[in-house]
């Protein structure tokens, strides 16, 4: 009996020693939960995306943001109700400046450019178009007395002149650039061989020469003196009359002497 009792005592003592040496599961520390703080957005906000089974308490423990701050920053109700995928604002930091890229420079408002108003030159040549082909050729010089008119389409400029003989055109200087109408009236006794008006756009610095042609009309051209044909019969008759006249004169003198 004493041996059995001693055996039980020895067994119980062994169990107690094993219990003291063998660590219980509760003695192990809980698993560490790691949380990486989200990177702030360019505007400085730090956001957290709600995961399945997240609560405000869990998020507060993970992020270190109090439950009251979570409610205040995100407008949550008293129960701190969350939904999966919801973005929660944890706080804000100063925005990170962009280290690279061009700096925006305001563009100044420039005054509207004033269009350049320059001057040009128009020359007019009225030539004697002898062969009537409407082109200036050697020997076809200017005709004097033609009336030249230059006007702009706005009616602000009007110049007049008279064509001259020779080979030089009549020129009008210091004409502001713009649209012009040039016309010419041929002198009396001439007929035009080209059109007598022309529309022209004059640019600053340009010199434009316009050729107008005319030729003498048929009435004005000198005609050849026509020779009257002489009939030989009339010459013979005149000679006979002349001889008869002489004979009668001689006969009359002879009668007078008797």
Domain definitions of the chain by residue range = 38-95, 119-216
Instruction: Return the axis-axis angle of helices 56-63 and 67-74, rounded to nearest 10°.
Output: 110
- CATH for 38-95? 3.10.350.10
Give phi and psi for 5, each to the nearest 5. Answer: -65, -45
Q: What pLDDT, on the 0 to 100 scale, is given for residue 226? A: 43
8-state DSSP, 99: S
Sheet bearing 197-202, strands edge to edge: 158-162, 147-152, 178-185, 197-202
Could you tell me where the DSSP H helices lie in the chain? 2-21, 56-63, 67-74, 232-257
The length of the chain, given as a count of residues: 258
Q: pLDDT tens digits, the chain, 258 residues: what are they?
A: 555 455 455 555 556 555 554 555 444 444 444 455 677 788 888 888 999 988 999 888 888 889 898 888 888 888 888 899 998 888 888 766 655 555 556 656 656 555 556 899 999 999 999 998 999 999 899 999 999 999 998 889 999 999 999 999 999 999 999 999 999 999 999 999 999 999 999 998 899 999 999 999 876 555 444 444 555 676 777 777 777 677 777 766 777 666
Q: 225's torsion region: left (phi>0), alpha (psi -120 to 50) or beta?
A: beta
Enumerate residues 6+ apart whose C-beta is below 8 A from 167: 141, 142
Q: What pLDDT, on the 0 to 100 scale, is given for residue 35? A: 55
Q: What pLDDT, on the 0 to 100 scale, is given for residue 242? A: 77
One CATH from 3.20.20.30, 1.10.3470.10, 3.30.70.100, 2.60.40.10 for 119-216: 2.60.40.10
Q: Do residues 213 and 143 make contact, with C-beta atoms less than 8 angstroms apart?
A: no
Q: What pLDDT, on the 0 to 100 scale, is given for residue 163? A: 95
Say whether 81 sits in a helix, a strand or coil. coil
Encoded tokens for 201: 């756009």
DSSP 7-63: HHHHHHHHHHHHHHHSPPGGGSPPPP---PPPPPPTTSEEEEEPPTT--HHHHHHHH
Enumerate residues 6+ apart whose C-beta is below 8 A from 122: 150, 171, 172, 175, 180, 182, 200, 202, 207, 208, 209, 210
For the four alpha carbons of 10, 13, 19 and 20, in that order, the dihedral sign comes to negative
């Amino acid at each position: 009996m004493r041996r059995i009792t001693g055996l039980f005592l020895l067994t119980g003592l062994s169990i107690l020693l094993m219990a003291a040496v063998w660590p219980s599961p509760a003695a192990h520390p809980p698993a560490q939960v790691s949380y990486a703080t989200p990177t702030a957005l360019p505007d400085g906000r730090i956001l957290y995306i709600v995961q399945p089974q997240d609560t405000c308490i869990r998020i507060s423990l993970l992020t270190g943001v109090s439950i009251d701050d979570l409610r205040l920053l995100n407008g949550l109700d008293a129960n701190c109700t969350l939904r999966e995928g919801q973005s929660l604002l944890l706080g804000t930091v100063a925005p990170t400046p962009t280290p690279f890229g061009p700096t925006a420079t305001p563009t100044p408002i420039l005054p509207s450019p004033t269009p350049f108003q320059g001057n040009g030159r128009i020359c007019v040549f009225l030539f004697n178009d002898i062969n009537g082909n409407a082109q200036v050729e050697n020997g076809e010089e200017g005709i004097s007395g033609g009336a030249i008119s230059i006007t702009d389409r706005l009616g602000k400029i009007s110049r007049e002149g008279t064509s001259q003989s020779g080979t030089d055109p009549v020129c009008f200087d210091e004409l502001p650039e713009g649209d012009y109408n040039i016309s010419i009236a041929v002198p009396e006794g001439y007929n035009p061989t080209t059109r007598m008006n022309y529309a022209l756009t004059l640019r600053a610095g340009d010199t434009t020469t316009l050729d107008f042609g005319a030729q003498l009309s048929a009435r004005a051209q000198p005609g050849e003196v026509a020779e009257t044909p002489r009939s030989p019969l009339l010459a013979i008759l005149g000679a006979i009359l002349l001889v008869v006249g002489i004979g009668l004169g001689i006969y009359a003198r002879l009668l007078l002497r008797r």
